[in-house]
Structure 1
């Protein structure tokens, strides 16, 4: 028997939590696990053993991108089956990835990392995001709700948690395409500033502010949060940004927020969270979010305490992010005829793998999504129950 095939058969023997079929490059098909196979993995050619042993996640991700692996069934089922098997390679972080968690994300490097992902083009994101252009976990009041409505729910849910009052100053760190700052101004007459490192997001948000005639209330700046000086805000929100900060800069983020908040001011952090470092993946780090780091809730709370910030509320939206990603993945597939006009097949397969593997990661509980609400010093003026959020 071919040496490569022996290696692969040993690898697949205990790789998945579900039974599956594997078709090798010579046409041989073998089942692994007992029962009805959930999916079929087709190996068009062997992946070098050295690549698998060095970094299995990166090796298999690149093999799928380049068409060396095909899947009959769904990518999500394959990845989720890997995550559901705690002995799979997805739980074994390669040594180089452990080092990347400590690579410095200074202002220049952070700008490069953000632009790598978010400046692919507004036209691309418009093809599969909803009409609000919101690229973060939505909030579904029912599983059947539309993505656009769930994204509006999310914005309103956040703004209610912040207990916004007319005339207050709101800072949105990593404002995306501006939906939250526009909603805050329109509904609460809040003076809102959004900052982003993405040129494409900045230009789109600037155009939306002009279109809504909100220049007297809303501003957007192409700026790193560490470059904000001499300003004070009643409320600070950050949605899906701190994941780009990097482990060694988490403390710097909370120091900046503490310095920008007025005494008694309120901040909400909306962040993907990990468990024991399991949310950081080498393939994601190389191809999707360079320089990213998924923090644990305990890490975030520790930094809050270090800067005199008082935690008020913590809410998990893990299932909401699974549903959000299901919508994005479906929208992406429906938009493929238009996407393929400007993107090659490697790009298409990369993004298909990204969206579906993230859905699997959230659904399996490998990663979570939390909203953490906190204040600078004690705030004794908030309502005593959560009714103000849900009424």
Structure 2
């Protein structure tokens, strides 16, 4: 098959901010950029030009998954080098940046999307998450904090912000494996309800409730937030769940929180945020988080204002998520012998690319992580300074 290699040479010319080598399928090696080579890309076979032009994210992501493209060096450094080069065709030519067509996430579709990502096995997540199975940005109070300590710090940080009072009712929308609701009940003696779409998370939380004798204080249900009826709560928290709601349903999320909160009630939203309106890319949408959407900070604040919430506090934890992902990626690589017992190489390469590209995105500032604290109506009972969070 005749392949116009000139297309690929032009493609890699000026693509990265760092000098690199590219080895083509015929053995030819080209140097791009001046200076010491930082990484090497091996194209084992050509990627169809139409796929690169039509959807570069999907084309390169699938080529890496299928071992048609190999990277010698750090996967994260390659992606950061790509992000940092504002002069590349990816940044200059919008036609190369294909946006995802957003599909409405109704209740059934939301459940399917969540189960696609979270029900691939608790045993898999145990191999590279911390002992609490917390799968969201940690909070590093010092460089010496390990992942487990940082995840406990994060839960404590959130619960302090909520200013919980004894016997209040707390709802956790998207409770994961339950660390936050269990800690809230144990430390603050609140009545906590966690909801999740994941069968495996649900069973894990139920087991922990039984084991820790918290049936009178904690409940977990397989439920969509829109399915909660005839209940109200003093506090509502959502950690890493809003990213699954979808662009078309952001208003529905805030309307539901407004309905479920008591007057003066407080909600904390912990969410990845983006810097543009793209929301996600097609590779992530197809293989990692179907139906996902990353909102901008301005988008979320407009939603809060339009639903008559009072914004109390906003905090960026972007650097904390970079560090969290570094821990996850390192744990993932160390666990490969065990992961390979149940997962094939395509799956492994997919997850490596997901973790490393996410770390690159947060480190480069393409993505951020924000915590928003807001109330239903004015709340005049919160302390006037942030001392209550840090003391």
* TM-score grouping bracket, smaller chain normalisation: over 0.9
1:310 alignment counterpart: 310
Residues 90/293 of structure 1: CA separation in 2 closer, same or farther (3 Å cut): farther
Superposition pairs of residues 19-98 of structure 1, within 5 angstroms: 19-88=19-88, 91=91, 98=99
Task: Flag the 1:260–1:95 CA change in 2: closer, same or farther, 3 A.
Answer: farther
Q: Is the 8 A contact 2:99 2:278 kept in 1?
A: no
Deviation track 1:198-254 (CA, whole Å, cap 9, x = no partner) reads 001000011011110000000000000000011110000000000000000000000
Which residue of structure 1 lines up, in the alignment, with residue 168 of structure 2?
Answer: 168
Are residue 351 (structure 1) and residue 357 (structure 2) matched? no
Q: Matched residue of 1:160: which SS?
A: helix
The answer to whether the 8 A contact 2:313-2:373 is kept is yes
1:157 aligned residue: 157
SS of corresponding position for 2:250 = helix
**Partner SS for 1:238:** strand
| TM-score relative to the length of structure 1 | 0.97
Secondary structure of 1:269's aligned partner: strand
Say whether residues 1:193 and 2:196 are aligned partners: no
Q: Distance in 2 between matches of 1:34 and 1:73?
A: 18
In 1, the alpha carbon distance for the partners of 2:90 and 2:222 equals 36
1:35 is displaced (CA, Å) by 1.3
The question of whether the paired residues in 2 share the 8 Å contact of 1:197 and 1:223 is answered with yes
Alignment of 1:288-299 (within 5 A): 288-299=288-299
8 Å contact 2:90–2:97 — kept in the other structure? no
Question: 1:18 deviation in Å?
Answer: 1.1
CA distance in structure 2 between the aligned counterparts of 1:13 and 1:210, rounded to whole angstroms: 59
Contact 1:93 1:281 (C-alpha < 8 Å) held by counterparts: no
The 1:174–1:19 alpha-carbon spacing in structure 2 relative to 1, beyond 3 Å, is same
Paired residues of 1:279 and 1:367 also in contact (CA < 8 A): no
Matches within 5 A, 1:241-320: 241-320=241-320
CA-CA distance at 1:30 after TM superposition? 1.0
Segment of structure 1 superposing worse, 259-268 or 17-26: 17-26
Q: 1:96 to 1:17 in 2, by over 3 A?
A: closer
Bigger mean CA deviation after superposition, 114-123 or 278-287: 278-287
Deviates more, 1:78-87 or 1:241-250: 78-87
Aligned partners of 1:171 and 1:211: how far apart in 2?
21
1:184 equivalent to 2:178? Answer no
User: 1:34: how far off?
Assistant: 1.4
Local SS of the residue matching 1:362: helix
Q: What SS does the aligned partner of 1:100 have?
A: coil
Residue 58 of structure 2 aligns to a residue whose secondary structure is helix
* Residue of structure 1 in register with 2:101 after alignment: 100
Which runs of 5 or more structure 2 residues have no equivalent in the other structure? none
Q: Which residue of 2 aligns with 1:12?
A: 12
Give the TM-score, by structure 2 length: 0.97
Aligned partners of 1:382, 1:5: CA distance in 2, in Å?
64
Q: Deviations over 1:295-353 (max 9, x none)?
A: 00001000100111011100000000000000000000010000000000000000000
Q: Say yes or no: does 1:237 pair with 2:237.
A: yes
Q: Aligned partners of 2:164 and 2:98: how far apart in 1?
A: 40
Aligned partner of 1:379 in structure 2 is 379
Q: Equivalents in 1 of 2:124, 2:100: separation in Å?
A: 32
| Count of aligned pairs between the two proteins | 389
Structure 2 partner of 1:142:
142
The separation in 1 between residues aligned to 2:53 and 2:96, in whole angstroms, is 12
The superposition leaves residues 145-174 of structure 1 with CA deviations (integer Å, 9 ceiling, x where unpaired) of 100000000000000000001100000000
Shift of 1:120: 0.3
Instruction: Please list every run of 5 or more consecutive structure 1 residues that lacks an aligned counterpart in the other structure.
Output: none
Match of residue 126 from structure 1: 126
Is the Cα–Cα contact under 8 Å of residues 185 and 218 in structure 2 kept in the other structure?
yes
Q: Measure how far apart 1:279 and its partner are.
A: 4.9
How far does residue 86 in structure 1 lie from its aligned partner after superposition? 2.5
**Do the aligned partners of 1:278 and 1:367 also contact (CA within 8 Å) in 2?**
no
How far off is 1:94 after superposition?
A: 6.4
**Which stretch shows the higher mean deviation, 215-224 or 143-152?**
143-152
